[in-house]
A = this chain, B = another copy of it.
């Protein structure tokens, strides 16, 4: 009897008060006299009681005080992606204002479904998950407030994320304003998304192309290349042929769907003996740290990942509070830098091909 885990009852009995008084001693000091409180706490520590059990309290209160973040793939992977870490940073920041804790839930693995189902949370934030990941279905079934960041887009679920197509269109307009007429787009496959819905890269490609075409560009003047993966070497080897062509058969502007790829293109341009931006304008997407430091500094699209994380957290908290929410508009910002410039004068004006 002495060696059983002490509970409120144990303490109450030992202190000669009711269970509720012990509870109040911990959670509502104003509800009992300081003398009683002191005595209760003293007895508690004497019998080895270490305070109210959080799980039991959560059950009764019907809230956990934590928000779950479901992350792409196996959780460890997330930490190798600086973008995701930044988003996480933002979420954390948004939650800690409200005193909520954050539960990391890995998706994509074997038991990911089960983990989502068993997570003790008041809300879930789905972060860059493939739409067909079983974790998504599990999350929806939980009937808990939901927010998505990036992918997936779910009906009736507020989503935080940039309008990739619109942002890419702004790049297109920037290049058109500079007088460019022949374009290339460098994209890549999304490593860990086997979803059927268009990837964010595809959204960028289409947004870019559609804006050009809408402005009267001949579709045949837009070449689309796909790198093997989102890395500088892949980009470099992938565009070298394109850049080695004679000037008349070569695009004067290239849009890469990520800064990583764009940096690879800069290297390839050097290989091909082209000076950027005089002979080739290059634009990227993401505005990673390296973009501002490259030579020449990269024109790109900035989108505030930290802010997106914060926004997601706030959406979750407001839903928990029972308020109705709408997804905020995340602004993207074209950042013109030295890698784009006026198109070189064409020998003969006129359409391409």
Q: Which of B54, B80, B85 contacts A117 (CB 8 A)?
A: B54
Residue ID in chain B nearest A71 by CB atoms? B92
- Whether, in the assembled complex, A197 has its beta carbon less than 8 Å from a beta carbon of chain B, the answer is no
Note all chain B residues with C-beta closer than 8 A to A343. none
Please, how many angstroms separate the alpha-carbon atoms of A48 and B58 in the complex? Answer: 22
Q: Which of B92, B104, B143 contacts A92 (CB 8 A)?
A: B104
Copy number in the complex reads: 2
Among residues 22 to 75 in chain A, which have CB atoms less than 8 Å away from a CB atom of chain B? 48, 50-51, 53-59, 64-66, 74-75
Q: Is the CB of A104 within 8 A of B105?
A: no
- Whether, in the assembled complex, A141 has its beta carbon less than 8 Å from a beta carbon of chain B, the answer is yes
Among residues 93 to 140 in chain A, which have CB atoms less than 8 Å away from a CB atom of chain B? 93, 95-96, 99, 101-106, 109-111, 114-115, 117-120
- Whether, in the assembled complex, A76 has its beta carbon less than 8 Å from a beta carbon of chain B, the answer is yes
The smallest beta-carbon distance between A116 and chain B, in angstroms, is 10
Q: Is the CB of B92 within 8 A of A88?
A: no
Q: Is the CB of A89 within 8 A of B76?
A: yes
Q: Is the CB of A141 within 8 A of B50?
A: yes
Please, how many angstroms separate the alpha-carbon atoms of A146 and B109 in the complex? Answer: 27
Q: Is the CB of A96 within 8 A of B74?
A: yes
Q: Is the CB of B101 within 8 A of A102?
A: no
